[in-house]
Amino acid sequence: MTTAAAVRATVTIVGGGFAGAALALHLTRQPGRLPLDVALVEPRPAPGPGLAYSPAEPELLLNVRAKSMSVWADDPGHFASWLTRQPESSGTNAPAEFAPRGLYGRYLAEELAAVSAQPAANGVRVRHFRGEALAAPLQADGRRAIVLADGDELLSHAVVLALGNFPPPPPTGSDLRYLTHPSYHPDPWAPGALAGIGPDDKVLLIGAGLTAVDTLLALRARGHRAPVRVVARHGRWPAAHGPADAPAYPNFYPELAAERTVAGVLRGVRRHLAAAGAQGLDWRPVLDALRPDLGRIWAGWPLAEQARFLRHLAGPWAQARHRVAPSGAAALATLTADGQLVTIHGRAVAIEPAGDELRVELAAPGQPTQWLMARHVMCCTGPLLDYDRLDSPLVRQLRANGCLTPDPLGLGILTDADGALLDPTGQPSAGGLFTLGASRRPAYFESTAVPELRQQAATLAGVLARRFGQEAH
């Protein structure tokens, strides 16, 4: 006789950052009976915080308001309400609209700990397996065996890759000797990345996005005194968030729905920016009005138009769309005014070891080449998402077996509408492979922040619930 335990299915989620955690949580709230064991594989001590929400430094703040950071797609105020119940919220330094990222990590870890303590009402059981997944070979019975670094194997009816953000690629292409120089810091998110930087060491950051803002604020909080130079391709820092009570701008997607070119969409957006400006309204709500439809606009462009957008507009778009908390923007302004922060418009084209230091060649349009010396160079150019270049053992194995197909623009993984990985012929790969998070940028372009990712988690949880809602045989 088959026992109930024997017919339970196993879904393995590889990666216990926000996306993996959100999926596990949403599975526990699927309606009906779901006899599912969810194995959450994550090398960090506790799943939930992942890369983005592990830092303990209180000055590293969320770059999205607390009111938009709930893990639950259908309960948007959940995190903000959790926050008010924390001891930190009663002191004089109570977190404001933009809470410390470490606190958010605690929220996620607590939510997961609650569902891991006992089976959910629908039957889902969540368990953390601490370690790295190295491979996911297909078995003769159609399941996949997730091979962990300690040699354990998890036989799984479906596998979800929630691998998140990988360290940035090297900023220059030629003469890569600098990559092993102690003054070069390839991964600004690595624990202890700033540990060897003395207070008077000359630091050069490559890239001026949110990662550079974090790095700068963390350096200052650690007592770094020397001016920091930042090389930025567009010479601009992320825009600051506007006021929380700014009036919303009406959605105008229907006007853009038929546009199949970047130029057409841009014309429509500019028209609305001008109209908003004429009424004395801020530009931010105009862009925010399109947020629910960004994926549809992106998907409506043929590949050549998507490539055009990446070439010409991805930088300015990121600067306008991925905003910094007002306190971070104010700190940047003060540091700049005090001469402590020097932003250089240009591109690092070569980096050479020079004794203890690194010599960096900068190119800027219409300018003669400059060379700068720095005791530390930190690469803050943003995560590598090109799954053709990623060197993770799991990605290598799935790619080599033709189960994971990188997209032609180097943004992530090709998937179907449910997030199922496609093989090179465009068919869903065998063995129930799915993904969510940044890897789905080829489908949506914006697949980055909590509001998008929690919706992906809710939708994928529904897909898995439909598949495993009856007992597996």
Binding residues for ligand FAD, per CB under 6 A?
14-20, 41-44, 50-52, 62-64, 101, 132-133, 162-165, 189, 211, 214, 392, 394, 437-438, 448-450, 453
Q: How far is the CB of 42 from ligand FAD (least distance, A)?
A: 5
CA 332, CA 309: separation in Å to the nearest integer? 28
Question: Which residue lies nearer to ligand FAD by CB, 193 or 364?
Answer: 193
Closest CA to 281 of 241, 247, 250, 325: 247
* Closer residue to ligand FAD (CB): 20 or 207: 20
Q: SS3 helix, strand, coil % of the chain, rounded to 5?
A: 35, 20, 45
Comparison of 104 and 178: residue with beta carbon closer to ligand FAD: 104
C-alpha 421/C-alpha 405 separation (Å) is 7
C-alpha span between 296 and 251 (Å, rounded): 14
Are the C-beta atoms of 47 and 16 separated by less than 8 Å? yes
**Nearest CA-CA partner of 72 in 105, 109, 37, 111:** 111
Q: What's the rounded Cα separation, in Å, for the pair 400 and 370?
A: 42
Q: What is the C-alpha separation between 310 and 440, in angstroms, rounded?
A: 16
3-state secondary structure of 339: coil
CA 26, 29, 32, 35 dihedral sign is positive
Minimum CB separation of residue 287 from ligand FAD in Å reads 16
Closest residue to ligand FAD: CB criterion = 17
Nearer Cβ to ligand FAD, position 5 or 244? 244
Instruction: Report the nearest approach of ligand FAD to the CB of residue 56 (Å).
Output: 13
In angstroms, what is the minimal distance from the CB of 105 to ligand FAD? 9
Amino acid at site 301: W
Is 131 or 469 the residue whose CB approaches ligand FAD more closely? 131
By beta-carbon proximity to ligand FAD, the closer residue of 189 and 445 is 189
For ligand FAD, give the closer residue by CB, 165 or 183.
165
Shortest distance (Å) from residue 447 CB to ligand FAD = 9
Give the length of the chain: 473
Shortest CB 363 distance to ligand FAD, Å: 27
Taking the complex as a whole, the smallest distance from the CB of residue 336 to ligand FAD amounts, in Å, to 22
Contact predicate 435/3, CB 8 Å: no
Q: What are phi and psi of 4, to 5 degrees?
A: -60, -40
Residue indicated by tokens 């001016």: 227
Q: From CA 83, how far away is CA 309, in angstroms rounded?
A: 38
Tell me the C-alpha to C-alpha distance, in Å, between residue 163 and each of 40, 167, 290. 12, 12, 27
- Closest approach, Cβ 451 to ligand FAD, in A, equals 7
Q: How far is the CB of 149 from ligand FAD (least distance, A)?
A: 8
In this complex, which beta carbon is closest to ligand FAD, that of residue 103 or of residue 262? 103
355 near 368, Cβ under 8 Å?
no
Instruction: Select 68 or 261, whichever has its Cβ closest to ligand FAD.
Output: 68
Q: Which is nearer to ligand FAD, 122 or 392 (CB)?
A: 392
The separation between CA 159 and the C-alpha centre of its own chain, rounded to angstroms, equals 20
Alpha carbon of residue 324 to chain centroid? 15
Nearest to 98 by CA among 60, 72, 71, 70: 60
Least distance CB 387 / ligand FAD (angstroms): 12
